[in-house]
Amino acid sequence: TLPIRIAPSILAADFAKLGQEVRDVTDAGADWIHLDVMDGHFVPNISFGPDVIKSLRSYTDATFDCHLMISPADPYLEAFAKAGCDRITIHAESGPHLHRSLQTIRHLGKKVGVTLNPATPLSVLENVLDDIDLILIMSVNPGFGGQKFIPAMADKIRNARLLIGDRPIELEVDGGVTVDTAPIVTAAGANVLVAGSAIFKGESVEAYRQTISDLRAA
Ligand code: DX5
Ligand code: ZN
């Protein structure tokens, strides 16, 4: 079984000092840095793009876990790869040719992820299971941090774990993950926990460290 990994989402960080924030959560024990890219089209919010990610690359050696909430994604995959993303996750809903998009990420030499909105069934993954390294289950409707975990997603996580079987696929959960909901998520079989507001509501590196270790313990 894969280790538990904590991936702070910098969407909830202070954008005026993102480099320092990335360095601080790394020092506080983050395994991956979760990068939420939003285009104001696929989701009703705009965040940041490859140039910002490129600027952040020198602040940490931690894995850059890029979550693309953009449509279309294909024209931008190379830019995100070049910006220093180690893992690139796209939405199954973001285009008609999921398999092609996944192949493109693979050919760019990056870890391949697929994510599903809450209403999208796991069945869309059945024919790409051998082409992916990660499944991201959205436990809120994407677009904003600070939303409430959708309880029905616990069953979806459990079913995703069954679908994965013994494949070496990471199972990540994103949205409303807090010290209170983390036990639900890990009990259901997830091993990567994204947390934005739960971590960045803290006001010091010590606070970040405490939350990250509480999430890991859960
Ligand atoms: C939602 C983003 C999440 C979000 C998580 O659109 O993909 O990564 O920032 O934030 P919290 O942990 O505050 O729900
Ligand atoms: Zn995300």
d(CA 129, CA 117): 17
- Per the prediction, the chain carries an average pLDDT of 98
Spell out, as residue ranges, where the chain has pLDDT lower than 70: none
Q: How far apart are CA 98 and CA 100, in angstroms?
A: 5
Write down the pLDDT at residue 1: 78
Q: Which domains does the chain have, with CATH numbers?
A: 5-217 (3.20.20.70)
49 lines ligand 1 (CB under 6 A): no
Counting every residue, how long is the chain? 218
36 is in an annotated binding site: yes
Q: Active site includes 36? A: yes
Ligand 1 in reach of 174 Cβ (< 6 A)? yes
pLDDT at 141: 98
ipTM summary value: 0.98
| Sheet with 134-138, edge to edge strand ranges | 5-8, 192-195, 170-174, 134-138, 111-116, 87-91, 63-69, 32-38
The answer to whether the CB of 45 is under 6 A from ligand 1 is no
Tell me the per-residue pLDDT of 60-102, one tens digit each, with 9 for 90 and over: 999 999 999 999 999 999 999 999 999 999 999 999 999 999 9
